[in-house]
Chains A and B, each alone.
Chain A
Amino acid sequence: MSFLEYAPAPESRAILNLRDEYGLFIDGEFVEGGGTPFTTISPADEKRIATIASASDADIDRAVAAARRAYERTWSKMSGRDRGKYLFRIARLVQERARELAVAESLDNGKPIKESRDVDVPLVAAWFFYYAGWADKLDYAGLGADPKALGVAGQIIPWNFPLLMLAWKIAPALAAGNTVVLKPAETTPLTALLFAEILQQADLPPGVVNIVTGAGATGATLVRHPDVDKIAFTGSTAVGREIAKAVAGTHKKVTLELGGKAANIVFDDAPIDQAIEGIVNGIFFNQGHVCCAGSRLLVQENVHDEVVDRLKARLSTLRLGDPLDKNTDIGAINSREQLDRIRELSDIGEEEGAERWSPDCVIPDNGFWFAPTIFTNVQSSHRIAREEIFGPVLSVLTFRTPAEAIAKANNTPYGLSAGIWSDKGSKILAVADRLRAGVVWANTFNRFDPSSPFGGYKESGYGREGGRHGLLAYLKGGAK
């Protein structure tokens, strides 16, 4: 038995009390959907979890109408203090049901339980707790006295952090006084529907939050609905572009949090131990299904070999397997479609001349899996250095001077995030100044907090989520 072999330590699924079928959550109740229902599966074994309703256009109409009614009759008339109290209630209920939500998330998404348990779900509770406190303090949001809600917000979220993205969207919208129609991703609807049960427990007034499940077309209908005042979207740049076109000429306010191809820059004076951990966390956290993942490692040439050797050694200790096992570091790829995309781009990486390496690791027979992968000898022109892979694939490039590192880091249409590793503070500040990215992590990576604004430059989208800035995306002010 090598040091890598562990007895299985699966988190029990007994805590889940799932229904066999889930409807749409409209006006405070679960209702049948007009579209053809679909199944949601566990990507770790491809087994069915539940049948999920699909919203028809008429269902979207009903959901938007419910949100409009709730906005006009209830939510916009309620005091900020009471809105805040509902959000505090939700935060507490999420904490109370944290283990259940974590298990459901790992089951439906494929992410390791230690991430859903220690990162996703605690942040969900923190997000509601943070914005709860804003609800009666909107005069301090920065738009002058008595800012107004926008109305009905249509929100479309991705599959990589299903419940956390729900929290990023719903918490500020409700704190600012908007009502919501939210569409979860097709492959990860489960925790949003459990969240609907939490809203019932919190006794949130009917219609304030409506959850409509379905595929991309459902989201497109929501985006185009004339009675929606605000669109918030997290997902691919391609879809973000279509949304920006679809809302052109309307009154709708839009925030888009799109793709990325972040540079993680390691200088030769970096704290190497921490940098190795940060690089691993930067690209292998959540199987690399992270828009802000540090997918391009830029290493100063004189430490390249040392960094790559140590990275390979570290990767050889990562455990890939059952997402519900508490020892698992790398879970399942969320869907076959995404797995195909990762495979395709990785094959292209090899064809274009980069050198591919993965640790020896046993891939389970069923489900969707991809071993952590490093490409060295990558050129800036390679597709694996330019396109978002959204998987556990790291492209390693080198640089000699800080100016070259900055130029390479910025040489992308994206601009979501970046990392800098150096023990020299003045260098970090100078480089951070010149990186065209919305979030820069220095001597850390992939940190998130409800008080910290997050969002992109350039084709990574616009608007910010988190902090006071995130509140502004759901308010209009007196000044303009």
Chain B
Amino acid sequence: MSKRLTVPKTYKLFIGGAFPRSESGRTYEVFSPKGAFLANAAQGSRKDARDAVKAALGAGAKWAGATAYNRGQVLYRVAEVLEGRRAQFIDEIVAQTGVSAAAAGAEVDEAIDRWVWYAGWCDKYTQVSGSLNPVAGPYFDISVPEPTGVVAIIAPQDSALLGLVSAIAPALVGGNAVVVVASERYPLSAISLAEVLATSDVPGGVVNILTGSPAEIAPWLASHPEVHALDLVGAGELEWIDLEIAAAQTLTRVLRPEQGPDAAAPSLQRITAFTETKTVWHTKSLV
């Protein structure tokens, strides 16, 4: 009996909950470390980036308005679905990066656990980072964190899955919508993660994933007036100072690049970096 012919996947972009090809029609070849052809990944363009921001803007209000309990359950659901696809992600990481199956397994496990960790924060970070303020007067005065809005992320470039998850998840906890540029070298796990997100009750448009050249796409995101925060965690190899300068034009909040295996390490600060503190005073004196 002849060996069964496999059915390879077409890797496309993830915008507004759908999987379109790049409007530019461009793709680029993804190879294994030993040079074997793995797939053609979509090479996202300026137009794709703008479409992604538009999708994020449209989806943001619903996600920001969801209850914290609901957001927590959705992020936990991502972990559940990822766990079910564990083998697929291990194979993909091994193929792209050449690490051992054990190392890839550890990375997938860590990524799953990170979703669980952040899922649990959804209904807690407000209490931890908010406050009731004892002002010297007859006022009820509270401070609460609210989502900054649309967060553009340059994902860590030396990681196929864990870096991406570490950057996306905390922004989602706070109720933001995300446009992320995946690792240029290892884009396949990002699109497979998009399939996980699409089947985990994450509303379409809340996470948008672009593959292609970060150097080409990032300037359009940095200068986009509807991008409210820019996470340059994986932009260390880019001309990131220019990106920070472009972002300054509309006072976009910027997180600077991080290097090494601890890049985007899990922390409460990664959640609150993409929140705005709103202080509400209410007079108590009108009786």
Interface positions of A (Cβ within 8 A of B): 126, 142-143, 237, 240-241, 244-245, 248-249, 256, 258, 271, 274, 413, 415, 423, 428, 432, 437-444, 447, 449, 451-455, 457-462, 464, 467-469, 477, 479-480
Contacts and interface: CB of A to CB of B under 8 A. Distances in A.
Interface of B: 128-129, 131, 133-137, 139, 141, 143, 228, 240-241, 244-245, 247-251, 253-254, 265, 267-270, 276-283, 286
A479 B282 contact: no
Contacts of B281: 439-442, 444, 447, 452
Contact of A438 (B139, B249, B276, B283): B276
A439 B142 CA distance: 10
A479 B247 CA distance: 26
Contacts of A477: 269
B148 to A, nearest CB: 8
Contacts of A256: 251
Given A237-B251, A432-B280, A447 B240 contact: no
Given A438-B279, A452-B279, A469-B131, A479 B249 contact: no
A438 B281 CA distance: 11
Given A237-B251, A480-B265, A447 B137 contact: yes
18 contacts: A241-B248, A244-B248, A248-B244, A248-B254, A249-B244, A258-B251, A271-B286, A438-B279, A439-B278, A440-B279, A443-B282, A447-B137, A451-B134, A454-B279, A457-B276, A457-B278, A467-B131, A469-B131
Contact of B228 (A143, A441, A452, A458): A458
Nearest to B140: A442
B283 A444 contact: yes
A452 B251 contact: no
Contacts of B250: 413, 459
Contact of A439 (B241, B244, B279): B279
A468 B134 CA distance: 11
A467 B279 CA distance: 11
Nearest to B229: A462
A274 B286 contact: yes
A457 B253 CA distance: 10
Contacts of B139: 444, 447
Contacts, number: 117
Given A440-B280, A442-B282, A469-B277, A248 B241 contact: yes
Contact of B277 (A143, A438, A443): A438
A449 B269 CA distance: 25
Contacts of B143: 452-453, 464, 467, 469
Classify the secondary structure of B's interface with A. mixed
A452 B278 contact: no
Nearest to A439: B279
Contact of B267 (A258, A271, A452, A480): A480
A442 B137 contact: no
Max chain A Cβ within 10 angstroms of own Cβ: one of B141, B228, B281: B281
A457 B250 CA distance: 11
A268 B17 CA distance: 42
Nearest to B249: A241
Nearest to A249: B241
A143 B280 CA distance: 24
Max chain A Cβ within 10 angstroms of own Cβ: one of B143, B265, B268: B143
Given A439-B279, A452-B279, A469-B131, 9 more contacts: A142-B128, A439-B278, A439-B281, A442-B282, A452-B135, A457-B278, A464-B143, A467-B143, A479-B268
A449 B278 contact: no
Given A441-B281, A443-B286, A469-B143, A245 B245 contact: yes
Nearest to B243: A248
A463 to B, nearest CB: 9
A457 B64 CA distance: 16
A479 B128 CA distance: 15
A428 B269 contact: no
A245 B248 contact: yes
A449 B265 CA distance: 35
B219 to A, nearest CB: 13
A479 B131 CA distance: 21
A240 B250 CA distance: 10
A143 B268 CA distance: 9
By Cβ-Cβ distance, the 4 closest A-B pairs, closest first, are A249-B241, A244-B248, A248-B244, A449-B135
Nearest to A446: B281
Nearest to A435: B278
Contact of A480 (B270, B279, B283): B270
B277 A455 contact: yes
Max chain B Cβ within 10 angstroms of own Cβ: one of A244, A258, A441, A443: A244
Nearest to B253: A462
B62 to A, nearest CB: 13
A447 B249 CA distance: 30
A449 B128 CA distance: 21
A461 B251 CA distance: 6
A308 to B, nearest CB: 22
